[in-house]
Structure 1
């Protein structure tokens, strides 16, 4: 699943890199592979297709009122921005393979954690980098309130997490590194 990043976030990342150098980010191996597949798809399929469409639209004559040409150029800029973003993220990423974690009794980056709330409902999350989040897919950021609260905790530990609907207590039922 592609995780679109709004252009303003990409621009903020570019500014941060210009000011203090590239920021080190963590990615799981699966997350890095998903980003790499998207990058290859953009470079090998999307960009050539849109480039051909723009060339065909340009050949029609007056470009100032040619909607196909204007839209195509805009789409090409969006693709190029996303390509630069993905390349920069992959170049500066530290790839983590969760199954290689030596201390598997505590929650660290890449862990898959099953939690039980105050009502007895169980939820499973994988702790991933901010570029990989997919709440519906069970992947939450290590920088999220739950992710931060869980770090370095063990099975049986209880954490309190502040969320928009109020504070909740979560107990760690299991920790897996797959």
Structure 2
């Protein structure tokens, strides 16, 4: 996952935050204790220099601990931003799903997400990506300039949408 640009916030959706937190808790509560148990068992078998369970287990523990540190730092710096607060608006903010057309008329749809949750296979882009930066603050019908290594191209914002707010819980 990319580093956060200096001085920026780590925007993330509530769902993205929940996924990262679940991964962290799973590592701490489930995976790490299992690996510690295997390493302890393997160490009790004597010669550690040729003990694959011991060597692999120690390596895996380092990987788990590195991931735990990374997730902890990212969650501490996270600024949870609910995109549904913009539901019904036509301006592009964090969390928007945007349908746009390039100069050749080719249409694409992307969702602007946090650095730690964007998945390009699902049409999601990080809010710090060039396309997201070009689209942020634009409105439906606006034409914006996208700077790419191939040059500057104009793209037209065709549609902006946000997830609907979750229904309020009953207080009975």
TM-score, normalised on structure 2?
0.84
Counterpart Cα distance in 1 of 2:159 and 2:87: 16
Match of 1:60 in 2: 45
TM-score, normalised on structure 1?
0.81
By percentage of residues, which structure has more helix? 1
Moved over 4 A (4+): none
Aligned pair count? 163
Cα separation, partners in 2 of 1:23 and 1:83, compared to 1, 3 Å: farther
Match of 2:148 in 1: 163
Cα separation, partners in 2 of 1:93 and 1:113, compared to 1, 3 Å: same
Q: What residue ranges of structure 1 are gaps of 5+ in the alignment?
A: none
Q: What residue ranges of structure 2 are gaps of 5+ in the alignment?
A: 164-172
CA drift at 1:166: 4.2
Tell which structure's C-alpha radius of gyration is larger: 2
Match of 2:77 in 1: 92
Counterpart Cα distance in 1 of 2:25 and 2:101: 39
Q: Find out whether 1:49 has 2:34 as its counterpart.
A: yes
CA drift at 1:44: 2.2
Match of 1:79 among 64, 73, 82: 64
Match of 2:101 in 1: 116
